[in-house]
A = this chain, B = another copy of it.
Amino acid sequence: MPAPATADTTCQEYEKVLTAAQAAAPVLAAMPLTERAGLLRAVAGALRTQADELVPLADADSSLGVPRLTGEVERTAGQLEMFADAVEEGSWLEAIIDRAGASGAGPDLRRMLIPLGPVAVFGASNFPFAFGLAGGDTAAALAAGCPVVAKAHPAQPRLSGAYARVVVDALHAAGAPEGTFAVVHGMENGRKLVTDARIAAVAFTGSTAGGRALADLAATRPSPIPFYGELGSLNPVFVTREAARVRGKEIAGGFLASMSLGAGQFCTKPGVLFVPAGYGLEDLIAAEAATAPMRLLHEGIGTAFRAEAARLAAHPAVRPLSVPEQDAADESVVRPVLVSTTATELARCPGQLLVECFGPFALVVTYTDDAELPAAADLVDGNLTATVHGEQSGDPVAPALLRTLTGRAGRVIWNGWPTGVTVGWAQHHGGPYPATTSVHTSVGVTAMRRFLRPVAYQSVPDTVLPPALRDANDLRIPRRVDGALTAAPVTAPR
């Protein structure tokens, strides 16, 4: 079935969407937390109910396969429910009460976080559901109380309309104000969103080039807004000598599985692996590398992969580990490419070799001396993740390396693989630029923080205060009162 032609959203329709989002903002902000949580649960339920309709459309768009996409719908629904629970738990409000006299002669001062306003969401193509129209960014923004205007991804012509309808209908049925969620189509409308005075923040997941262009555009606004971009990441993995000795074969297999998961189209794909020379890991990887063709998300990604993998494979500093000939028939079908170099050669031209190649490509770097590892870690840019494979005993290099990598990544992994991002309280999916353009996460409960700003109320009467800051604490949320954390009401007058 050929992809339907999706027309760009017209100017009139765009205006209608933005006006509705602006009107929905105060209504959504004032909605009781249990009702707001109910909206998220309604979308989760609708996604589960209508997965059978949506998954085939997503598969036709992305070629990611029905099992993986079915799992992704469940992950997306679970993510919405996690935010629903967090909304009710209420610690994200960061309520702080300093009663009169708490700080010297100060007045009664009560601070909490409030929603920023309408958020523009640019989803990714590699996770059509989980990072798509009702993915993590949308769920976090709605949880924070912000309406969402999502830009449809051009690589999802079949899914976008149906996915949007499920979300809009579910929100409507659950009592959300009109304008809580809408989708716009067309690249020019995406740029309009980023500079629109009615948009209060942007969340973007995609390429470094595309994200940076929009971030730069956002910076030119008369009134700047936060731009939360999750861009590129190499996700380096370091294997110590001791780990290579004890479980080299297991590591080689784990690496190959992780780098080719989803045809290498995870933002957490390990793109570079550092191994000690002389333990045969390169040979194991070369021998076990899959060479069967994989279908990438769309032709543009296939073409870019072929060009970039070929450029890297032809670089004078690298030698092939597994460089199968690519088929000419279909640009979007590719075979995995693995090449290697040495830490010494890498140090001569890191900027040419340490670049993200989206798809099933990886670079294996051999080192001969443990002292090369910290220097190698310093060569990599900011990353979503960095991984160390080591042994707890007799492996003195590992702890120091872990500490060094903390400066280079948002998530540091011990003896695991970066692909697979748990959705929970402690997750951090972000990292120094270009991994993200901010210090925030796009996955996990704390992702809500991106769409909130503090307000302090000074000497405001209890009845006029938002419920979260009233003495009674009817919401039973955790608060800091006169410096101490408590979920109790403020009872005795000071």
A and B contact pairs by CB, cutoff 8 A, 28 listed: A91-B485, A94-B446, A96-B425, A98-B425, A98-B427, A103-B422, A106-B422, A107-B422, A110-B426, A111-B427, A111-B446, A224-B433, A226-B438, A392-B461, A402-B464, A411-B455, A412-B457, A412-B458, A412-B460, A413-B460, A414-B461, A414-B464, A416-B459, A425-B483, A427-B456, A430-B454, A439-B452, A439-B453
By a CB distance below 8 angstroms, the chain B residues around A135 are: none
Interface status of A109 (Cβ within 8 A of chain B): yes
Interface status of A382 (Cβ within 8 A of chain B): yes
Q: A106-B424, A402-B464, A413-B460 are in contact. List 6 more A-B contacts (CB 8 A).
A: A226-B438, A414-B460, A414-B461, A416-B458, A427-B456, A432-B453
Interface pairs A-B: 9 shortest CB-CB: A103-B424, A106-B422, A428-B456, A439-B453, A219-B219, A98-B426, A96-B426, A109-B426, A111-B426
Interface status of A410 (Cβ within 8 A of chain B): yes
- Which A residues are within 8 Å of any B CB, using their own CB? 26, 78, 82, 91, 94, 96-98, 102-104, 106-107, 109-111, 114, 116-117, 215-216, 219, 223-224, 226, 382, 392, 398-399, 402, 406-407, 409-416, 422-428, 430, 432-434, 437-441, 444, 446, 452-461, 463-464, 478, 480, 483, 485
By a CB distance below 8 angstroms, the chain B residues around A106 are: 422, 424
By a CB distance below 8 angstroms, the chain B residues around A480 are: 91, 425-426
Closest chain B CB from A111 CB (angstroms)? 4
By a CB distance below 8 angstroms, the chain B residues around A452 are: 439
By a CB distance below 8 angstroms, the chain B residues around A463 are: 399
By a CB distance below 8 angstroms, the chain B residues around A409 are: 455
The answer to whether A459 and B414 have CB atoms under 8 Å apart is yes
By a CB distance below 8 angstroms, the chain B residues around A117 are: 407
By a CB distance below 8 angstroms, the chain B residues around A464 are: 398-399, 402, 414
By a CB distance below 8 angstroms, the chain B residues around A96 are: 425-426, 446
Copies in the complex: 2
By a CB distance below 8 angstroms, the chain B residues around A110 are: 426
**Residue of B whose beta carbon sits closest to that of A469:** B426
By a CB distance below 8 angstroms, the chain B residues around A114 are: 406
Closest chain B CB from A249 CB (angstroms)? 20
By a CB distance below 8 angstroms, the chain B residues around A111 are: 425-428, 444, 446
**Residue of B whose beta carbon sits closest to that of A440:** B454
Closest chain B CB from A374 CB (angstroms)? 12
Cα A437 to Cα B219 with chains together (Å): 11
Kindly identify which residue among B411, B437, B440 contacts A456, using a CB–CB cutoff of 8 Å: B411
By a CB distance below 8 angstroms, the chain B residues around A461 are: 392, 414
The answer to whether B459 and A413 have CB atoms under 8 Å apart is yes
**Residue of B whose beta carbon sits closest to that of A422:** B106
The answer to whether A456 and B410 have CB atoms under 8 Å apart is yes
Kindly identify which residue among B407, B427, B440 contacts A109, using a CB–CB cutoff of 8 Å: B427
Contacts A402-B460, A483-B425, A485-B485: A410 and B107 contacting too (C-beta < 8 A)?
no
Contacts A425-B98, A427-B109, A454-B410: A382 and B460 contacting too (C-beta < 8 A)?
no
Cα A414 to Cα B108 with chains together (Å): 10
Closest chain B CB from A169 CB (angstroms)? 28
**Residue of B whose beta carbon sits closest to that of A25:** B407
By a CB distance below 8 angstroms, the chain B residues around A459 are: 413-416
Cα A430 to Cα B455 with chains together (Å): 9
Cα A223 to Cα B126 with chains together (Å): 25
**Residue of B whose beta carbon sits closest to that of A464:** B399
Closest chain B CB from A74 CB (angstroms)? 10
Cα A91 to Cα B97 with chains together (Å): 15
Contacts A411-B456, A458-B416: A97 and B426 contacting too (C-beta < 8 A)?
yes
Closest chain B CB from A104 CB (angstroms)? 7
Cα A116 to Cα B410 with chains together (Å): 12
**Residue of B whose beta carbon sits closest to that of A438:** B226
The answer to whether B98 and A226 have CB atoms under 8 Å apart is no
Cα A439 to Cα B114 with chains together (Å): 11
Contacts A111-B427, A414-B464: A104 and B422 contacting too (C-beta < 8 A)?
yes
By a CB distance below 8 angstroms, the chain B residues around A412 are: 455-458, 460
